[in-house]
Amino acid sequence: MKKLVLLFAVLCLATGLSMALDYGIRGGLVLGNMALDPEFDEWGPSEAKDKIKMGFYGGIFVQHPLSETMGILAEINYIQKGDKYSFDDSGDEISYIFYGKILEMPVLLYFQPTEKMTLYAGPVLGYVLKGGYNYKVSIDDPSISYYEGLDMNEWINRFEFSAALGGRYQLGGKYFGEIRYIYGMSNMFSDDNPELPEDTSGKTSTLTIGLGVNL
Amino acid sequence: MKKLFICLILIIAAVSMASSLELNYGLRTGLVLGNLSVDPDPTEDSDLEAKMKMGFYCGLWARHMMNEKMGITAELNYVEKGDRYSEDMTGATMNIIMYADVLELPVLFTYLPSEKFALYAGPVLEYVLSSGYKMAYDVDDPDVVEYMGYGFGEWTNRIGFSIAAGVTYQVNETFFGEVRYTYGFSNVIGDDNELMPAEGLEAIPRTLTIGIGINL
């Protein structure tokens, strides 16, 4: 299945490239959050605070202008989403991390109000390559860490549907800066997941900040 | 978090330097096939099988040509090195993964025998961002992977040294393919590491990378 999705992604990209569209690459930081229902402090340790999970994204885009100021942007991205809850236990940091490593295929409608700015929005289809949770203890002295976790292959919903909204600013030449918000609409955990309280749903909510290059 | 910011600053500094010096520069990324030379060998007196650890690398490069055929390439890369040992059990596969996520600074002497090919070799200075080991049970039914592990933190030898040799092939003006072997000389595991089963255990990275790159 994973291979099929990858193959499909590569085929899409090859089609895009062969059509001689504008294309390029993008990469940057991910600030991840997840809307858990029931909330984590209702079933996890009550002192745990919701933090941002840092991650990384990288991807490829192709772009097809429809008119002078509008067009379609298609992408294939690898993105590390998730969320983190942590608290301090006499110097040691205890964190609970939920993660989803996702292959994303957004199709975005873009609008260029000025030459430098591009605004876009559109749907995103995601395929969860790996998802699970990680319990981590960062010990203060000696400064080492212990972790244990579970990749919930069978107990995650592989397909994710989200909506993305963002903007680009052309920095000069072929480089641009980019900021995007991705609102997840599907539950990452499947209903029969025995590791979480019954009917727990987790919907990702992700902010990305990064750079891109037009090739 | 702090590391990421340092990375970002270094990247921006490298890019601005490269563009002001009018060097050739670009990006590179791909797959890492990682091995470690571990002494004493964990496959002795056990059913463990040595496997390859897959990882990911990405980085920036800048090249200065001294004449038509020769030049110097400097890079800044993030490379996921390590090794994997596995054992088949009933209903599950056990994997022992040792990892070292490394920030690499190679300085490579580059020789261009033809327009398409470039051969290079040179020293690599390394900074180990994180290292540790992980035991992962890949269970068949239910299809999940249960894992636990340690990050070595202060019991890591942060600074390392390697040599690298490789070749790039220019596919078209923008893209090139690349294969590289990085031979390590430094032990990743600190002498005072209390998490390893044997005292004085050594693990030295041997890394093959296959990837693509872009001229910007």
Mean pLDDT in consecutive groups of 10 residues from the start of chain B, 216 residues = 65 64 86 91 85 93 90 94 92 92 95 92 95 92 90 91 95 92 93 79 93 92
Predicted pLDDT of residue B15: 62
- Contact assessment for residue B112 and residue B69, using Cβ atoms and an 8 Å cutoff: yes
Q: Please give the DSSP secondary-structure letter assigned to residue A7.
A: H
Least reliable range by pLDDT among A12-21, A32-41, A80-89, B169-178: A12-21
Predicted pLDDT of residue B2: 62
The CA distance from A83 to the nearest CA of chain B, in Å, is 15
| B157 within some domain | yes
- List residues bridging with B47 in a β-sheet: none
The CA distance from A47 to the nearest CA of chain B, in Å, is 22
B146–A150 CB contact, under 8 Å: yes
* A145 confidence band (pLDDT: 50, 70, 90): very high
Interface test with B, best of A52, A145, A192 (most B CBs within 10 A): A145
CA B11/CA B76 separation, integer angstroms? 8
Predicted pLDDT of residue B194: 81
Predicted pLDDT of residue B87: 92
**What is the torsion angle, in degrees rounded to the nearest 10, for the CA atoms of residue A5, residue A7, residue A8 and residue A13?**
130
Q: Is pLDDT above 80 for A60?
A: yes
CATH 3.30.9.10 for domain A2-214: no
Predicted pLDDT of residue B200: 78
| B61 within some domain | yes
Predicted pLDDT of residue A193: 83
A145–B143 CB contact, under 8 Å: no
Q: Which residue has better confidence, B173 or A79?
A: A79
CB pairs under 8 A between A and B: 66
Q: What is the CATH number of the domain that holds B183?
A: 2.40.160.20
A165-191 residue pLDDT tens? 999 999 988 899 999 999 999 999 988
% residues pLDDT > 70 (chain A)? 92
Predicted pLDDT of residue A197: 84
Closest CA to B165 of B179, B176, B147: B179
A215–B29 CB contact, under 8 Å: no
CA A49/CA A148 separation, integer angstroms? 20
The answer, for A17 touching chain B at a CB cutoff of 8 Å, is no
User: Which secondary structure element, helix H or strand E, spans residue A174, and what is its range?
Assistant: none
Predicted pLDDT of residue B168: 95
The answer, for A18 touching chain B at a CB cutoff of 8 Å, is no
Interface test with B, best of A150, A175, A190 (most B CBs within 10 A): A150
Tokens of B54: 């897959």
| Residue of B144, B147, B150 lying closest to A144 (CB–CB) | B150
Predicted pLDDT of residue B54: 93
Cα B189 off chain centre by: 16
Chain mean pLDDT for chain A: 89
Predicted pLDDT of residue A17: 60
Q: Is pLDDT above 80 for A76?
A: yes
CA A76/CA A105 separation, integer angstroms? 5
CA B143/CA B145 separation, integer angstroms? 7
A contacts of B4 (beta carbons < 8 Å) = 29, 54
User: Which secondary structure element, helix H or strand E, spans residue A4, and what is its range?
Assistant: helix A2-18
B216–A150 CB contact, under 8 Å: no
| B40 within some domain | yes
The answer, for A54 touching chain B at a CB cutoff of 8 Å, is yes
Task: Domain of residue B88: give its range.
Answer: 23-215
The answer, for A11 touching chain B at a CB cutoff of 8 Å, is no
Angstrom CA distances, A150 to A69, A136, B167, stand at 47, 12, 39
φ and ψ of A154, to 5 deg: -80, -25
A contacts of B1 (beta carbons < 8 Å) = 54
CA B87/CA B89 separation, integer angstroms? 6
Domain residue limits, chain A = 2-214
- List residues bridging with A213 in a β-sheet: A25, A175
| Residue of A29, A142, A215 lying closest to B154 (CB–CB) | A142
- Contact assessment for residue A194 and residue A155, using Cβ atoms and an 8 Å cutoff: yes
**What is the torsion angle, in degrees rounded to the nearest 10, for the CA atoms of residue A155, residue A159, residue A160 and residue A165?**
160
The CA distance from B143 to the nearest CA of chain A, in Å, is 5
Angstrom CA distances, A146 to A101, B107, B132, B199, stand at 21, 35, 10, 20
Portion 66-105 of B in contact with A at CB < 8 A: none
Predicted pLDDT of residue B5: 64
CA A37/CA A200 separation, integer angstroms? 6
Residues in chain A: 215
The answer, for B155 touching chain A at a CB cutoff of 8 Å, is yes
CA A61/CA A73 separation, integer angstroms? 7
Q: Is pLDDT above 90 for A96?
A: yes
Report the number of distinct structural domains present in chain B. 1
Beta strands in chain B (DSSP E): 24-39, 49-51, 53-65, 70-89, 92-111, 117-139, 144-151, 159-170, 175-184, 202-215
Q: What is the mean pLDDT of residues A18-39?
A: 87
- Contact assessment for residue B164 and residue B180, using Cβ atoms and an 8 Å cutoff: yes
| B3 within some domain | no
| Residue of A143, A155, A215 lying closest to B174 (CB–CB) | A215
Predicted pLDDT of residue A98: 93
